[in-house]
Structure 1
Amino acid sequence: MTPLVSVLLPAFDAEPTLVPALQSVRRQTEARWECVVVDDGSEDGTPRTAEAAAATDDRFLIVRTPHRGLAAALATGLARCRGRFIARMDADDLMHRERLARQVGALEADASLAAVGCHVRLFPRAQLGRGWRSYERWLNAIDSVERVRAEAFVECPVAHPSLMIRRELLVEFGYRDRGWPEDYDLLLRLLARGHRVGIVARRLLAWRNHPARISLTDARYAPASFTACKAAFLAAHFLAGVEEYDLWGYGATGRTLRRALLAEGKRPAHVVDLHPGRLGQTIHGAAVVAPDEIPRLPRRPLVVSVAGAGPRRQIRDALTAMGLRELDDFVCAA
C-alpha cells in the first residue's frame, strides 16, 4: 500500500539518539507512513540501529550512502519517498504522537497550503540559556501563514524538522547546497514563489539542543551564513530593481546585514536611528535620520534590522501608523 506520509530522516553518527527518534515515529496515531532513513556514511552503530528497526517494522526503509553531507542525504532520501506528504525529521528529535495526523489534517483541510510546520519544545531544558529560550518563544509565537511570511527574514520561521510539505513541491524545489542552510533556502524559495506555508500551533516536535548538533558545528549554519542567505533573497526580491534602500537600525544586527547587502550590490541611502550622537551624521555615506523623518524621505524600500521581538513590534506599529505596509514598503530582517 502506498503510504500517505513519507518521513524523511537523514542520520549521521546518530546511534545514541536514533532509537527514541524512530520509536516516536512508530507510535504515531496516523499509521499510513513510511520512514526513509538515510544513513549518511555513519561510522558508529547508526546503520545497525536503523536496520534493527526495519527488521521489526517494514515501514522503515534504510538507504545507505557515502558521507556527502545533509543536503545530499536529503536529496537521496527524497528520491525514495512515495507519500503524498513528506515530513522532515532529524535523528536526534522526537515527534509528538499526533504530529503526522495533525499536519496531514491541516494540509488536507486547506489545498492552498504548500507546507506546514508546528511549534516545538527545545530540550533538555536544563541546558537552555536565555538566548535559546527567547528563540523558542519567538518561534512558537508564529501561528499563521501571515506571520511566517512577515518573520521570514528575521530567522527561519519554521523549524525544519517540523516541516511537512506536499511531495510534488519538494520534488520541484529540491534541496540545494549554496553554502548556507538548505532548509532556510528552501523556505525562502517557496515564499518567493508565492507559496503559502502555515503552522499547526501545537508543540508537536521535541527539538534536541546539544553541542554536537550540525547547526552548531557546520559553517553552513553559522550566523554569517544565515545573514548571507537573507541578503541574497532580499536583494533578489524585496530590493529587486533598486540599488538603494533605507536601513532602520545600526547596532550589531544592522551593521552585519548592511555588509551582506553591500556584497549583493545594495547600499543604504539613509540610516534610521534613535541614538542622539548619530543623528545628523553620515555612516558610509548614508545620512542618519530620526524615525519621524521617514514620511519626508524619498520613497525607498525600508529594511528594519533590529534585534529583539519587542523593539521590532514597536517599530512595526510606528511604521504602520505612518501608512507603510509590511512586506510592500518595509520588511523586518534581524
Structure 2
Amino acid sequence: MNQDLISILIPFKNTELFLKECLNSIIAQDHDNWELLIVDDHSTDNSFELVFAFAEKDKRIKLLKNTGEGIIHALRLAFSKSKGSYITRMDSDDIMHSAKLSTMLADLKHHGRHHIALGLVKYFNENGLGDGYARYESWLNALTQNGQNYTEIYKECVIPSPCWMVHLDDLVTCGGFEYNRYPEDYDLAFRFYKHKMACIPSQDVLHYWRDYNERTSRTDDHYAENNFLELKIDYFKELNYDVSRPLVIWGAGQKGKQVAKLLKLKKIDFIWVCDNPKKIGKHIYDVVLYSFKHLKTLEQPQCIVTVANPVSQAEIRLVLEALQMKNMTDYFFFC
C-alpha cells in the first residue's frame, strides 16, 4: 500500500444513475491509499443505498449523511471526518482517470507546500457537448497546461472543482470549507489566489466531467450568473482594486450594466467607457458614458472589461497594452 493517505470528498444528491461508474473509477486508482468521505445531501432516489452497498465491501469508503443542507455543509462535514495529509474533491457524477490520484500526489510531493496540483479535464455528454462547455474546457485546459490559471480568474472559475489536490495544511490556511458562499468552487479558487497558492502545470487529462441537463451547476440558483458577478466584484475590491487610482468600466452591454449596478450599490466610484457611438454621451444609472479614448486622459487607471465577444476582447487588449497597461494589475476581463 502506498504511504500517503489521500482524502477524497464527495457530496451527492440524487445521482443514482452515475454513482456506480464514479465509485468504480475511484476504486480502480493506482494509488490505493485513499479514503472516500462521501456525504448524502438528502437524496430521494436510491443513491444512499447504492453507496451503502459499496461501503460494505470497501472500508475505505465512509458514507455520511449531511446534517445541514447543501454542498458546502456536506463538504464541511466530509472534511471534518478526513484523516489524509492530502485533500481532493470529486463530483458524484464524474469519472477519474486511473492515474489521477497518483499523478497529482507526485506533483505535490515534487513541488512542495503552497502548491495546487491540477489536471486537464474532458467534458462528455451522451447527447453531445454544447459549444459553451467545449469552449470552457479548451480555455481552462490552456490555462492549466501553463499553470497560468490566475491570469484570467475574473472571467470564470479557473480551478476545476473536481480536479485539484492540496496539502491538508494549505487547505486549512485557505479557510477550507468554512465560508458559506456560493459558488463554493469559485470562492475557494479566489482564496487559493489570495493565499498565493501556485498552480502546478499539467499536460494530463485526469478528470472526465459529465454534462447533463440536471447537473447542479445548471439547475441550482446558487450557480446563477448574479452570484458569480458579485463574488468577482468583492474579491476584486479586496485583492486588486487600488482606491488611489481611477476605476473604469469598459462596456455598456448587459454585463457592463450589472457591474455598474453592483459598484454603485457598494459605493465604489467609477468612470464608464464604451466604443458604441449610440451610447457615448448618454447616461445610464446617472453615469455618463465616455468614448474609450477617454482612458488616455486618466492617470494610471484600472479597467474592468465587460465585453464578451472574443474578437472585441482582442482589440480591447491591444488598446490597453498600447497604453502600457498590464493584465491583472491595470486591466481585468470580467467575461
How does the TM-score come out when normalised to structure 1? Answer: 0.90
- Aligned residue pairs, count: 333
Pick the aligned partner of 1:262 from 253, 261, 264.
Answer: 264
How far does residue 88 in structure 1 lie from its aligned partner after superposition? 0.5
- Which amino acid in the other structure matches residue 235 of structure 2? F
Q: CA deviation at 1:148?
A: 1.1
Mark the CA change 1:252 to 1:198 in structure 2 (over 3 Å): closer, same or farther: farther
TM-score w.r.t. length of structure 2: 0.90
- Contact kept, 8 Å, 1:117 with 1:160, in 2: the verdict is no
Identical aligned residues as a percent: 27
Separation in 1, partners of 2:241, 2:279: 25
Secondary structure at 1:44 match in 2: coil
Partner of residue 194 from structure 2, selected from 192, 195, 210? 192
Asked whether the equivalents of residues 86 and 165 of structure 2 are also in contact (C-alpha less than 8 Å), the reply is: yes
Instruction: Write the mapping of 1:1-334 to structure 2, written as runs, cut at 5 A.
Output: 3-66=4-67, 68-111=69-112, 113-124=114-125, 126-143=127-144, 147-172=148-173, 173-176=175-178, 178-241=180-243, 245-271=247-273, 273-334=274-335
Per the TM alignment, residue 78 of structure 1 is displaced from its structure 2 partner at its CA by 0.4
**Maintained 8 Å contact 1:244/1:266:** no
Inter-partner Cα distance in structure 1 for 2:225 and 2:200: 25
Answer yes or no: is the 8 Å Cα contact 2:97–2:206 preserved in 1: yes
Q: 1:55: Cα distance to partner?
A: 2.3
Whole-Å separation in 2 of the counterparts to 1:310 and 1:116 = 32
Query: In 2, Cα distance between the equivalents of 1:177 and 1:78?
Result: 13
**Structure 1 residues 43 and 149: alpha-carbon distance in aligned structure 2, compared to 1, 3 A threshold:** same
Q: CA deviation at 1:191?
A: 0.9
Cα pair 2:118 2:144 within 8 Å, conserved = no
Hey, what's the Cα distance between the residues in 1 that align with 2:311 and 2:72?
Answer: 34
Q: Tell me the distance in 2 between the aligned counterparts of 1:86 and 1:180.
A: 20
Deviations 1:99-141 (CA, angstroms, capped at 9, x unpaired) = 1122112212212543233221212153432222222222222
Alpha-carbon distance in 1 for matches of 2:134, 2:146:
23
Task: Write the distance in 2 (CA, Å) between the matches of 1:81 and 1:163.
Answer: 16
Shift of 1:56: 2.2
> Which stretches in structure 2 are left out of the alignment for 5+ residues?
none
Would the aligned equivalents of 2:18 and 2:93 in 1 still touch at CA under 8 Å? yes
Separation (CA, whole Å) in 2 of partners of 1:147 and 1:211:
30
Q: CA RMSD in A?
A: 2.3
Assess if the C-alpha contact under 8 Å between 2:113 and 2:170 holds in 1: no
User: Counterparts of 2:132 and 2:79 in 1: how far apart (Å)?
Assistant: 33
Q: How far apart, in 2, do the equivalents of 1:200 and 1:118 lie? A: 5
Gaps of 5+ in 1: none
Give the C-alpha shift of residue 73 in structure 1: 0.5
Separation in 1, partners of 2:79, 2:217: 21
Deviates more, 1:248-257 or 1:137-146: 137-146
- Alpha-carbon distance change, 256 to 198 in structure 1, aligned in 2, over 3 angstroms: farther
Moved more, 241-250 or 183-192: 241-250
- Mapped contact 1:119–1:199 kept (Cα < 8 A): no
